[in-house]
A = this chain, B = another copy of it.
């Protein structure tokens, strides 16, 4: 990873963290009496706890980088922050619900107690629900942005996160534990569970910046490749990394008998797969030109990260 890209990544992450803190914060509502804020404090804390926790912010950075590939001014705008936060809030809610005892039953997330451990199960369920609602609300709050564009963003995010996107992938994934599945089936899980939201992040950043149909198609092929690469690398890290570096329980997938790329392809085969996907991602960006450099660097980062 080049020094300049490392600095970019650090800055983009800090920018996303600031924006998340700002947009998850208390906000006016016609339904909430002014003096009820104390009762909502615990819910608010749980939302913030799960959102502001040292995450890698891959999806927000993808929003910024995709917008930047088309129009740097758009990428620097507060609208890009809101879109980045909306995508990250969907991701954060899915992690909260995924960690629940009835789902993956995980105690650790990014080195910290999971939301239901730090608070309680009921609060964790509600914090996830509220983060999802806030994500869509935030997309209606863009400034000097045509309503058509905002509505398109709502459509993309809701489709990517729903039954035939992220949530559908989680449902298939739960059903696949303890099952023998093949590579095709594993890829369907990841295309939905993590791939859909990563594609949405790239598409949303690009649409905010008024990308052409051709640019959107190129960027979608890029996003599809890095979405899978991200998951392959996750599976590799579950085997190779230790719990301290990973920030979650090492070997958790193996312990749950979850299907993984290394289990199906061997560790070497999984690494080769990640390299191939990285190459596909670079090829997809050829038509975009020099402004896609950050997206290329992000693809390298995804397959070389250690946590």
Q: Which residue of B lies closest to A35 (CB)?
A: B188
User: Are B162 and A192 in contact, CB atoms less than 8 angstroms apart?
Assistant: no
Q: How large is the interface on A (under 10, 10 to 19, 20 to 34, 35 or more residues)?
A: 35 or more
Does A108 sit at the interface, judged by CB under 8 A?
no
Q: Which of A39-47, A59-67, A263-271 is near enough to bind chain B?
A: A39-47
Chain A interface, DSSP helix/strand/loop, else mixed: helix
Which A80-133 residues have C-beta < 8 A from chain B? 93-94, 97, 100, 102-103, 116, 120-123, 125-126, 128-130, 132-133
User: Are A125 and B146 in contact, CB atoms less than 8 angstroms apart?
Assistant: no
Q: Which residue of B lies closest to A163 (CB)?
A: B130
A184 to chain B, nearest CB (A): 9
Q: Which residue of B lies closest to A146 (CB)?
A: B147
Does A180 sit at the interface, judged by CB under 8 A?
no
Give A148 to B97 CA distance when docked, in angstroms.
32
Q: Which residue of B lies closest to A44 (CB)?
A: B163
Does A75 sit at the interface, judged by CB under 8 A?
no
User: Are B120 and A102 in contact, CB atoms less than 8 angstroms apart?
Assistant: yes
Does A74 sit at the interface, judged by CB under 8 A?
no
| Known A154-B154, A158-B140: A165·B31 in contact at CB below 8 Å | yes
Interface string of A153-175 (1 = CB under 8 A from B): 01100111111110110111011
Interface string of A229-266 (1 = CB under 8 A from B): 00000000000000000000000000000000000000
Does A134 sit at the interface, judged by CB under 8 A?
yes
Give A160 to B170 CA distance when docked, in angstroms.
27
Does A32 sit at the interface, judged by CB under 8 A?
yes
User: Are A172 and B31 in contact, CB atoms less than 8 angstroms apart?
Assistant: no
Instruction: Give every chain B residue within 8 A of A33 (Cβ-Cβ).
Output: 188, 191
Does A202 sit at the interface, judged by CB under 8 A?
no
Instruction: Give every chain B residue within 8 A of A205 (Cβ-Cβ).
Output: none
Identify which of B32, B102, B116 contacts A164 (C-beta below 8 A).
Answer: B32
Identify which of B97, B103, B122, B159 contacts A31 (C-beta below 8 A).
Answer: B159
**Which A residues lie at the B interface, using CB under 8 A?**
27-33, 36, 39-40, 42-44, 47, 93-94, 97, 100, 102-103, 116, 120-123, 125-126, 128-130, 132-134, 136-137, 139-141, 146-148, 150-152, 154-155, 158-165, 167-168, 170-172, 174-175, 185, 188, 191-192, 195-196, 199
The 5 closest A-B pairs by CB, nearest first: A133-B162, A29-B164, A102-B121, A137-B158, A147-B147
